[in-house]
Amino acid sequence: MTPMTAPHPSSAPTDRDRPGLRERKKIKTRTAIRDATYALIEEQGYDATTVEQIADRAEVSPSTVFRYFPTKEDIVLTDEYDPILEAELRARPADEPWADSLRYVLRRGVGFGTGEEGEVTRLRSRLVSEVPAVRSRMMESISVTGRMLARAIAERTGHDPDGLEVRVLAASLVGGLMEVMQYWAEHDHADGLGDLVDRALDVMEHGLPAGKPRGNDVAP
């Protein structure tokens, strides 16, 4: 669920399903490449950071970087948590209103925690807002999350996952979440990301609120 997804403690593997040695090496390499990329971007900016520099910092070859991430933008954007969120959405109580289920899962997926992952989420949101290449790649890749949401929404509501209504709803959700991330970055991450997600979902569910715009939304 790029660029907003961050791992949650409940998604940590247990001893029983911990990956094997080969998979752990792959995870270690991906993590090293990502950590090197984030560090270099913080030091010198996105445009000045090259794949060769990333490879050198991560102690791998440039071909290894490209084997794990087809483009530099993918290093920043790619995550592996959509399947976890899809499973959580399907696991919500059957009698829970689907809108409440969506709200619960999407809040879990925005990565609004503190600490290291919070810093990564803020960096991602800033890059999506400021770097056209990252924003363009984000628009391409976010369709994956939209298809995931469409499948889960269709399963919960009994609609056709390829039906127009489900597709429009799923696209509205992922588009709205992308706007949330951009708004958050444009306003220096002053508001809680979870609160902004709630505001966006309120608009999608109930329409624009009555009365004057709040806070930063007031026109100059």
Query: For a pLDDT cut of 70, what percent of the chain falls above it?
Result: 81
Q: Per-residue pLDDT tens for 18-57? A: 568 888 898 899 999 999 999 999 999 999 999 999 999 9
Q: What is the mean pLDDT of the chain?
A: 81
Which one, of 175, 194, 174, lies nearest residue 184 by Cα? 194
Reply yes or no on whether the pLDDT at 10 is more than 70.
no
Q: Per-residue pLDDT tens for 153-165? A: 888 888 999 999 9
Reply yes or no on whether the pLDDT at 85 is more than 80.
no
- pLDDT of amino acid 50: 97
Q: Mean pLDDT lowest for which of 75-84, 120-129, 180-189, 208-217? A: 208-217
- pLDDT of amino acid 44: 95
Q: Which domains does the chain have, with CATH numbers?
A: 19-72 (1.10.10.60), 79-207 (1.10.357.10)
Reply yes or no on whether the pLDDT at 97 is more than 80.
yes
Choose between 112 and 192: higher pLDDT: 192
Q: Who contacts 103 (Cβ-Cβ below 8 Å, separation ≥6)?
A: 197, 198, 201
d(CA 42, CA 36): 10
pTM over 0.75: no
The packing angle between helices 164-186 and 193-206, to 10°, is: 140
Q: What is the DSSP string of the chain?
A: -TTT----GGGSPPTTT---HHHHHHHHHHHHHHHHHHHHHHHH-TTT--HHHHHHHHTS-HHHHHHH-SSHHHHHH--S-HHHHHHHHHHS-TTS-HHHHHHHHHHHHS---SSHHHHHHHHHHHHHHH-HHHHHHHHHHHHHHHHHHHHHHHHHHT--TTSHHHHHHHHHHHHHHHHHHHHHHHTTT-S-HHHHHHHHHHHHHH-SPSSSPPGGGS--
